[in-house]
Structure 1
Amino acid sequence: MKRIAVFLPLALAAALQTGSAMAFTDKPVKLIVPAPPGGTIDVFARIISDQLALEIKQPVIVENRPGAGGALAIKYMLSQPADGNTLLVTVTNILTEVPHVLKGGFDPMKDVRPASQMARSLQVFIASPQFPAKDAKEAIAYVKAHPGQVSFASYSQGTTSQYAGVILNQKAGLDMQHVPFPGSAPALAQVMGNQIPLMFDGSVTSKPLIASGKVKLLAVSYKNRWAEFPNVPTMAELGYPEVDFSNWSGVFASAKTPQPLMEKIHATMQKINASQAVQARYQATGFEPIRQERSLEQLSTDLRAEFDRNGEIVKTYGIKLN
Structure 2
Amino acid sequence: MNNSQKMNRRRLVLAAACSLACGVHAQQAQVTWTNKPLRLVVGGPAGGTADMLARLLAEGLYQKLGKVVIVESKPGAAGALAINDLISSGKDGSTFLVGQGGFVSETPLAYKVHYQPFKDIKPLAQLSRTALVLVANKDFPVNNLQQLADYGKAQKDGVMFASYATGMRAHTSGVLLGQLMGITMKHVGYKGSPPALTDLMGGHVPLAMDGVLTSLPLIKAGKIKPLAVNYPTRISELPDVPTFKELGYPRLSEAGWMGVWSRPDAPLEAQQVIRDVSLKFFAQPEIQKKVREIGMEPAGSATSEELVAGLREESKRQAELLKSIDYQPQ
TM bucket (normalised to shorter chain) is: 0.7 to 0.9
Partner of residue 11 from structure 1, selected from 8, 18, 22: 18
The letter for the 2-side match of 1:7 is L
Task: Note the C-alpha offset of 1:74.
Answer: 0.8
Q: CA contact under 8 A between 2:26 and 2:62: conserved in structure 1?
A: no
Cα deviation digits, residues 88-140 of structure 1 (max 9, x gap): 11111122112123221111111100111121112211112232322233234
Matches within 5 A, 1:172-183: 172-183=181-192
* TM-score, with length taken from structure 1: 0.87
Q: Match for 1:276 among 279, 285, 288?
A: 285
TM-score, normalising length: structure 2: 0.85
> Against the structure 1 CA distance between its residues 133 and 321, is the aligned structure 2 distance closer, same or farther, given a 3 Å change threshold?
farther
Find the residue that maps to 1:90 and give its secondary structure. strand
Deviation digits for residues 62-105 of structure 1 (CA, Å, limit 9, x no counterpart)? 32222222211111211111223221111111221121232211
Q: Does 1:139 align with 2:148?
A: yes
| CA distance 1:228–1:13, shift in 2 (3 Å) | closer
**SS of alignment partner, residue 7 of structure 1:** helix
Matched-pair contact (CA < 8 Å) for 1:87–1:252: yes
Q: Answer whether contact 1:124 1:202 (CA < 8 A) is retained.
A: yes
Q: Which residue of 2 aligns with 1:41?
A: 50
C-alpha separation in 2, matches of 1:307 and 1:2: 36
Question: 8 Å contact 1:89–1:249 — kept in the other structure?
Answer: yes
- Does the CA-based 8 Å contact 1:2-1:63 persist in structure 2? no
Q: 2:307 aligned with 1:299, yes or no?
A: yes
Gap change, CA 1:203 and 1:179, over 3 Å in 2: same
Corresponding residue of 1:312? 320
Deviation at 1:158, TM superposition (A): 2.1
Give the letter aligned to residue 194 of structure 2: A
Unaligned runs of 5+ in 1: none
Q: Does 1:250 align with 2:255?
A: no
Among all aligned residue pairs of Structure 1 and Structure 2, give the percentage whose two residues are the same amino acid. Answer: 36
Matched to 1:209, the amino acid is L
Q: Secondary structure at the match of 2:235?
A: coil
Q: Say if 2:205 is the partner of 1:196.
A: yes
> How much is the aligned-residue C-alpha RMSD, in angstroms?
2.8
Q: Distance in 1 between matches of 2:34 and 2:204?
A: 47
Task: Identify if the C-alpha distance between structure 1 residues 265 and 216 changes in structure 2 by more than 3 Å, giving closer, same or farther.
Answer: same
Match of 2:121 in 1: 112
Count of equivalent residues: 321
Distance 1:158 1:256 in 2: 30
Structure 2 residue ranges without an equivalent (≥5): none
Is this contact kept in 2: 1:126–1:201, CA < 8 A?
Answer: yes
How many Å separate the matches in 1 of 2:53 and 2:148? 31
Contact 2:137-2:206 within 8 A present in 1 as well: yes
Tell me whether 150-159 or 17-26 shows the greater mean CA deviation: 17-26
Q: Residue 216 of structure 1: CA displacement?
A: 0.8
